[in-house]
């Protein structure tokens, strides 16, 4: 199915320079786009590629518009070409999506006391326990589990094989990828003479609107109070969020990040892949942690933080790692040298002064 370019720009926002009657039937990258595609330029390094694109329409900034003279197709001017492209892509995916058939699959197990909205689609092998509430236009993928009294907001999509355990809540327009586990027990044990005594975890997980949760990501329920994921948070795959964390609104975490218990993370933060945050820390808004970095203390100031050992050829690493192990001694040697040199310089000065 295709869309008139004028209608598309009306829905996306932006200024159209070109023929509103042009029919667009999808998005494509600069080098693969043809006359019925819309594409975008957000990285100035790709300006030459944009000049050569065969795309019917190009989303770009006003600055790039002025610098790009060759391209002859239609132009969509916007402050944020990448976001505009994202919305265009959403438009065409929705346009071409298979219709969702509402209803409960005969191989699903839905407790009579659960509330499933009539527009929701419950796949085969799904279990919905007592008291759970599934909102309008939700899709619950095959094999997923919705525990007792859990709540799933309208237009939220669970891919297949999600575990969403008792008492957890997620808001509207969420997307949860396959294998994610929400509401597993927090890791809480008291040590008694070498044995671990399990501490029951009875808080849930409270997730806001417009939250994305990646494949095999795990979010533990709180001990007494819930673990909280605020609106607009984006979590990639294989992330671990421990009990009683608070992840501030619009924070994004790349794959394999881990956050230990009771950490409070601010809004609009980003975490590179495999970054780790220790427990009971507080991280301010707008903090950005690089991949592979371990956050071992609270961070009160916005900015970019990093801490990983630089990669080297193995032989070189062996040499530098050996020195790292002796750094404390090396500092002492430098101090001693400074003392000796001061003495020598003093001698010299005094001898000069003689």
**Binding to a second copy in span 96-115, by CB under 8 A:** 98, 105, 107, 109
Tell me which stretch binds a second copy (CB under 8 A): 14-22, 49-57, 67-75, 265-273.
265-273
Instruction: Considering the complex, state which of residue 115 and residue 178 has its C-beta at the smaller distance from a second copy.
Output: 178
Instruction: Considering the complex, state which of residue 70 and residue 180 has its C-beta at the smaller distance from a second copy.
Output: 180
* Residues within window 11-30 making contact with a second copy, judged by CB under 8 A: 27-29
Here's the x/- map for a second copy, 38-67, by CB under 8 A: it reads as ------------------------------
Tell me which stretch binds a second copy (CB under 8 A): 14-22, 48-56, 69-77, 319-327.
319-327
User: Which residue from 99, 112, 118, 310 is in contact with a second copy, where contact means CB under 8 A?
Assistant: 310
Instruction: Considering the complex, state which of residue 69 and residue 328 has its C-beta at the smaller distance from a second copy.
Output: 328
Asked if 325 is part of the footprint of a second copy (rule: CB under 8 A), the reply reads: yes
User: Which residue from 4, 47, 54, 87 is in contact with a second copy, where contact means CB under 8 A?
Assistant: 87
Q: Rounded to whole angstroms, how far apart are CA atoms 171 and 43?
A: 34
Instruction: Considering the complex, state which of residue 72 and residue 113 has its C-beta at the smaller distance from a second copy.
Output: 113
Instruction: Considering the complex, state which of residue 35 and residue 343 has its C-beta at the smaller distance from a second copy.
Output: 343
Q: Which residues contact 243 (CB under 8 A, 6 or more apart)?
A: 185, 186, 187, 188, 201, 203, 220, 221, 222, 223, 227, 261, 262
Q: Is 308 helix (H, G, I), strand (E, B) or coil?
A: coil
Q: State the DSSP H helix or E strand holding residue 24, giving kind and residue range, or none if neither.
A: strand 23-24
Residue pair 253/270 in contact by the 8 Å Cβ criterion: yes
Q: Is 46 helix (H, G, I), strand (E, B) or coil?
A: helix
User: Which residue from 65, 155, 159, 169 is in contact with a second copy, where contact means CB under 8 A?
Assistant: 159
Asked if 152 is part of the footprint of a second copy (rule: CB under 8 A), the reply reads: no
Asked if 349 is part of the footprint of a second copy (rule: CB under 8 A), the reply reads: no
CA dihedral (25, 29, 34, 35) positive or negative = positive
Burial class for 225, CB neighbours closer than 10 Å (0-12, 13-18, 19+): middle
* Residues within window 119-138 making contact with a second copy, judged by CB under 8 A: 123-125, 127
Instruction: Considering the complex, state which of residue 21 and residue 301 has its C-beta at the smaller distance from a second copy.
Output: 301
Residue pair 291/274 in contact by the 8 Å Cβ criterion: yes
Instruction: Considering the complex, state which of residue 48 and residue 344 has its C-beta at the smaller distance from a second copy.
Output: 344
Query: Alpha helices, DSSP H only, in 54-118?
Result: 62-67, 81-96
Here's the x/- map for a second copy, 270-309, by CB under 8 A: it reads as --xxx-x-x----------xxxxxxxxx-----xxxxxxx
184: left (phi over 0), alpha (psi -120 to 50) or beta: beta
Asked if 1 is part of the footprint of a second copy (rule: CB under 8 A), the reply reads: no
Residue pair 75/57 in contact by the 8 Å Cβ criterion: yes
Phi, psi of 285 (to 5 degrees): -65, 155
Tell me which stretch binds a second copy (CB under 8 A): 1-9, 46-54, 113-121, 189-197.
189-197
CB of 196 to a second copy, least distance (A): 5
User: Which residue from 17, 86, 133, 154 is in contact with a second copy, where contact means CB under 8 A?
Assistant: 86
CB of 16 to a second copy, least distance (A): 19
Asked if 154 is part of the footprint of a second copy (rule: CB under 8 A), the reply reads: no
Residue pair 201/188 in contact by the 8 Å Cβ criterion: yes
Q: State the DSSP H helix or E strand holding residue 336, giving kind and residue range, or none if neither.
A: helix 327-353
DSSP 210: S
Asked if 240 is part of the footprint of a second copy (rule: CB under 8 A), the reply reads: yes
Residues serving a catalytic function are 243
Number of neighbouring beta carbons within 10 Å of residue 306: 12
Q: Which residues contact 81 (CB under 8 A, 6 or more apart)?
A: 40, 41, 42, 59, 60, 61, 64
């Amino acid at each position: 199915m295709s869309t008139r370019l004028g209608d598309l720009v009306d829905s996306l926002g932006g200024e159209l320079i070109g023929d509103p009657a042009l029919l667009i039937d999808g998005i494509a990258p600069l080098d693969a786009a043809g006359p019925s595609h819309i594409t975008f330029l957000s990285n100035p390094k790709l300006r030459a590629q944009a000049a050569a694109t065969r795309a019917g329409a190009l989303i770009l900034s006003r600055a790039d518009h002025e610098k790009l003279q060759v391209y002859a197709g239609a132009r969509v001017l916007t402050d944020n070409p990448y976001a505009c492209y994202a919305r265009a892509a959403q438009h065409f995916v929705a346009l071409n999506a298979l219709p969702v058939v509402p209803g409960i699959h005969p191989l699903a197990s839905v407790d009579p006391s659960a509330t499933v909205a009539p527009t929701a689609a419950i796949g085969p092998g799904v279990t919905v326990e007592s008291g759970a509430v599934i909102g309008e236009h939700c899709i619950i993928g095959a094999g997923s589990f919705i525990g007792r009294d859990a709540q799933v907001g309208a237009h939220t999509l669970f891919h297949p094989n999600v575990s969403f355990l008792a008492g957890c809540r997620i808001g509207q327009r969420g997307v949860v990828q396959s294998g994610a586990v929400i509401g597993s027990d927090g890791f809480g044990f008291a040590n008694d003479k070498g044995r671990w005594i399990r501490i029951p975890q009875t808080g849930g997980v409270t997730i806001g609107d417009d939250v994305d949760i990646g494949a095999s990501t795990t979010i533990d329920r709180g001990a007494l109070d819930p673990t909280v994921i605020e609106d607009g948070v984006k979590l990639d795959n294989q992330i671990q969020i421990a009990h009683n964390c608070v992840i501030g609104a619009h924070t994004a975490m790349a794959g394999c990040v881990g956050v230990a218990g009771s950490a409070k993370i601010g809004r609009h933060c980003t975490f590179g892949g495999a970054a780790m945050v220790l427990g009971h820390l507080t991280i301010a808004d707008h903090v950005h942690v690089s991949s592979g970095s371990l956050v071992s203390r609270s961070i009160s100031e916005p900015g970019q933080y990093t801490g990983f050992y630089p990669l080297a050829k193995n032989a070189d690493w062996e040499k530098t790692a050996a020195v790292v192990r002796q750094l404390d001694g090396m500092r002492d040697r430098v101090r001693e040298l400074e003392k000796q040199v001061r003495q020598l310089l003093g001698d010299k000065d005094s001898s000069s002064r003689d």
